[in-house]
Amino acid sequence: MKASAFSYARATSVVNALELLVAHGDRAKVLSGGQSLMPAMNLRLISPELIVDIGELAELRGIAVRGDVLSIGALTRHVELQRSPEIATHAPLLTEAIVHVAHPAIRNRGTIGGSLAHADPASELPACMLALNATIVVRSQAGERRIAAGDFFTGIYETVLSPHELLIAVELPVARRNAAHFFSEFARRHGDYAITGLAAQATVAGDIFTELRLVFFAVGDRPVLARSAERLLNVRMTPALLSDASAALGEELEPQEDQQASASMRRHLAKVLLARCVSALLGRSDLNAGGPA
Ligand SMILES: Cc1cc2nc3c(=O)[nH]c(=O)nc-3n(C[C@H](O)[C@H](O)[C@H](O)COP(=O)(O)OP(=O)(O)OC[C@H]3O[C@@H](n4cnc5c(N)ncnc54)[C@H](O)[C@@H]3O)c2cc1C
């Protein structure tokens, strides 16, 4: 199928893009890498009247470290995240996660801003933003808003972005000493959207977690920061404790059923990932010996 007829405008600046968005309201759509927008238009899931192409706006591109903040422009492509030494040093969770996003051809065009604005609950980058406690920076003609990643995603393909706003950057605290991360997902084939995944960021002192952000994805309408992880903080880990946390995780998650997996399978896979994650982060193979409770 082909997209419905639409008009096209190439924005010359952020100011110009915002003018176009205000003038056309929800009849306009922003185009970044086009890797989600164009398929949706071709399938006629959406039919915007105007495409506002921001792809040439150099001011939205790039990765920089300022003090203890790592800033990533919205138009930074997946492949640039993958290859960036700054990302590898200061947010290695992203380096590990990004190779699970689709395939090289899509990573060559897709952008971090597009992925976050698209807000697919099975996407890797939204979950990483939550795990890394990111701030998402958006701009409108009224000025800039800074939104915690935990408040940004509101449902399947839904965020707090209004049609008049542009996502312009994300900011991440740089990884601290003793920081550790874990990323893993189950997918039918490498590069497919996840059936269930986990992005985790932790601080480990000896063999104790002093911080643990476990974010499960593809198990709800948005990435889920697991409250059950709190049970694993500031205590010496035992198989019994992990088993309790696993049971609590099962209660906490409300996965959807679809053609890929049942809700109970997703819940089971999340528990498997929890055990693998805790075992890997603490270097304790005994914790993963029997799989999930
Ligand atoms: C075959 C295939 C497999 C894929 N597999 C995966 C996968 O496994 N994991 C995964 O995470 N993704 C996957 N994707 C999606 C891919 O990662 C996209 O690149 C990404 O979701 C969107 O980025 P984009 O820059 O292409 O955004 P676009 O397609 O240009 O835009 C996506 C949406 O975000 C809006 N938008 C874009 N930029 C902004 C902005 N700066 N401010 C406000 N709104 C904006 C657009 O209006 C549109 O609604 C896959 C895509 C395909 C085609």
Pocket of ligand 1 (CB under 6 A): 29-37, 39, 74, 101-102, 106, 109-111, 113-115, 117-118, 123-125, 161, 166-167, 193
Q: Does residue 8 contact residue 28 with C-beta atoms inside 8 Å? A: no
pLDDT digits (tens, 9 = 90+) for 159-218: 999 999 999 999 999 988 899 999 999 999 888 899 999 999 999 998 899 999 999 999
DSSP class of residue 284 equals -
The tokens 């039918």 sit on which residue? 188
Looking at the chain, which runs of residues are DSSP E strands? 7-10, 28-31, 50-53, 63-66, 69-73, 135-140, 143-148, 153-155, 158-159, 166-173, 179-186, 196-205, 208-217, 224-225
Topology annotation, domain 60-173? 3.30.465
1-5, 15-19, 80-84, 124-128: which range is least confident on average? 1-5
What spacing in Å lies between the alpha carbon of 236 and ligand 1's midpoint?
Answer: 41
Calculate how far, in angstroms, residue 122's C-alpha sits from the geometric centre of ligand 1. Answer: 12
- Residues 179-287: name the CATH superfamily: CO dehydrogenase flavoprotein, C-terminal domain (3.30.390.50)
Tell me if 207 sits within 8 A of 136, measured CB to CB: no
Could you say which of 1.10.1040.10, 3.30.43.10, 2.40.50.140, 3.40.50.300 is the CATH number of the domain covering 7-53?
A: 3.30.43.10
CB atoms within 10 A of CB 16: 15
> Which residues are CB-contacts of 65 (< 8 A; sequence separation ≥ 6)?
71, 86, 90, 174
Give the ligand 1 atom nearest the CA of 37: 29
Which residue has a Cα nearest atom 20 of ligand 1? Answer: 115
Q: Render pLDDT for 222-279 as a digit per residue (tens, 0 to 9).
A: 999 999 999 999 999 999 999 999 999 999 999 999 999 999 999 999 999 999 999 9
Q: How far is the CA of 34 from the centre of ligand 1 (A)?
A: 6
Measure 107 CA to ligand 1 centroid, in angstroms. 10
In the chain, where are the structural domains located? Answer: 7-53, 60-173, 179-287
Q: What is the pLDDT of residues 211-221, one digit of tens each?
A: 999 999 999 99
